[in-house]
Structure 1
Amino acid sequence: MTLSHLRLVAVNIDGVLLNDTFSPVIHQFIVGRGGRYTAEVERAVLSRPRLEAAAATGLEGSPEELARAYFREREDYLREYPLRVQPGAQALLTVLRGLGVRVVCYGGLDRSHFDAHLHEYAGLFDDPVYVCTDAVRPGIREIAEDVFGLRCDQALFIDDAASVAEAARALGAAFIGCPTDYEHSFQEQLMRGAGVRHMVRSLEEVDEALLRTVDAEAAAAAVVGAGRG
């Protein structure tokens, strides 16, 4: 049976469908250059447009120089800790297909990143399959309204960044948090501070029961919002 209210589920690529290879490198990059790594710095850097994120590190150098250096360091990291599809990713996408919602992947890197690591799952997504959000981070409104022609309250976002949770809440979109377990990360703490109701440790926890719960909450919130309008 299809969901009653939600029409779109947007799933973040890095840190959700793929393992988190950004948080460790961001921490290493800042601390290794003498910077202080705090919740405020992480919030300002993670899931932001790359030049904005680079400027927010507080390190010496232009945003362009810092971004280039960061991605060089990330390539070194990936040689030792490669990208991999997270356990439960295919099962989640299969469940979503059975619930009658449209499904899209999104993230800050370009489409080639998706094609390199998730091409075998492309058939489980709806056109355009992948949306690059680097220029429009966090991209809630752009994905829901501009790409799919839906209201934000008809969309669910599954992401590892608290800043996306905050934007989703402000726009009335549903949200499931999947914060990294990286030891230096503040994302779980920041999500709790943002009032995120649903947080999971793994994609296996995002089952049909949870999705129907979120759907019912989205429907109820939309009714309340309409009444206030």
Structure 2
Amino acid sequence: MADKLKQLKLAAVNIDGVLLNDTFSPVIHNFIVSRGGEYTADVERSIFSQPQLVGGQGMANAARVPWTAQEAIDVYFKEREEYTRDHPVELLDGAIDLLRRLRGLGLRTVSYGGLDKSHFDHFLGEHADLFDEPGYVCTNDFRPGLREITTEVFGLKYDEVLFIDDVARVAEVAKALDIPFIGHPSSFEHSFQPQLMRESGARHIVDSLHSIDEELLRTLDTEAAAHSVWHG
């Protein structure tokens, strides 16, 4: 049995884009360009990992439609429902193995994201035993939620939690708080997240969950103890 990690106590793993496939970026991109808008890195910044109404306003602005934030969100979710009929939501390759690996190294695990817990229950409920209470944290009211998950939900210090996320804005907040971070940006062809995540200064970026192996996790553990995750 592997020796437990020494510094890290919790792994907080984003749901959509890390544990589940990215069914958001393609819909957001189509929402904007199909209405004559321009899809840019700044547009992604205004939408991704934002509260729903903020993201909705960002989409409406980018698409140049005179809709309220709620109207844009309503249309977006209808279009996403249509998209997922042909591109179903599913677990990413390596997701369950990753959770087992994290727990095998002694970490507690929790998932988080902007949708309510029913989303987690539907797609990950059968794997609930791989998560610690509360299992899932809806961060819509306090996105991106790193501070709240770390200090309020789990009562931990910033150097005791590893966040794994697909959005550069989360990386930027992790850097500001000196929180250990692994990036898993979207592979969607029009996504700016890989570029933005590199620009954030994230040092650990992977394109496969299998790359988050024991060696990388032990490296993060050592760096977290030395406060060198972002400044090594």
TM range (shorter): over 0.9
- How far did residue 35 of structure 1 move? 1.2
Match of 1:12 among 11, 14, 30: 14
Q: Does 1:39 align with 2:45?
A: no
Q: Where do 4+ consecutive residues of structure 1 move more than 6 Å?
A: none
Q: Does 1:50 align with 2:52?
A: yes
For residues 43 and 62 of structure 1, the distance between their equivalents in structure 2, rounded to whole angstroms, comes to 19
Q: Does 1:148 align with 2:154?
A: yes
Where does residue 94 of structure 1 map in the other structure?
100
List aligned pairs for 1:81-120, cutoff 5 A: 81-120=87-126
Where does residue 69 of structure 1 map in the other structure?
75
Q: Tell me the secondary structure at the aligned position of residue 111 of structure 2.
A: strand
- How far did residue 4 of structure 1 move? 1.2
Q: Tell me the secondary structure at the aligned position of residue 226 of structure 2.
A: helix
Report the residue type matching 2:188 in the other structure.
Y
% identity of equivalent residues: 58
Q: Tell me the secondary structure at the aligned position of residue 176 of structure 1.
A: strand
> Which stretch has the larger CA shift, 91-100 or 186-195?
91-100
For residues 114 and 29 of structure 2, the distance between their equivalents in structure 1, rounded to whole angstroms, comes to 18
Q: Tell me the secondary structure at the aligned position of residue 158 of structure 1.
A: strand
Match of 2:23 among 21, 24, 29: 21
Q: Tell me the secondary structure at the aligned position of residue 141 of structure 2.
A: coil
- How far did residue 100 of structure 1 move? 1.0
- How far did residue 43 of structure 1 move? 1.4
1:144-180 Cα distance to aligned partner (Å, 9 max, x none): 0000000122111000000000011111111000011
Q: Tell me the secondary structure at the aligned position of residue 162 of structure 2.
A: strand
Where does residue 85 of structure 2 map in the other structure?
79
1:48-77 Cα distance to aligned partner (Å, 9 max, x none): 111001112213210010010100100000
For residues 45 and 217 of structure 2, the distance between their equivalents in structure 1, rounded to whole angstroms, comes to 27
Matched length: 225
- How far did residue 98 of structure 1 move? 1.1
- How far did residue 127 of structure 1 move? 0.2
- How far did residue 32 of structure 1 move? 1.1
For residues 112 and 79 of structure 1, the distance between their equivalents in structure 2, rounded to whole angstroms, comes to 19
For structure 2, the 5+ residue unaligned runs are none
For residues 140 and 36 of structure 2, the distance between their equivalents in structure 1, rounded to whole angstroms, comes to 27
For residues 47 and 31 of structure 1, the distance between their equivalents in structure 2, rounded to whole angstroms, comes to 20
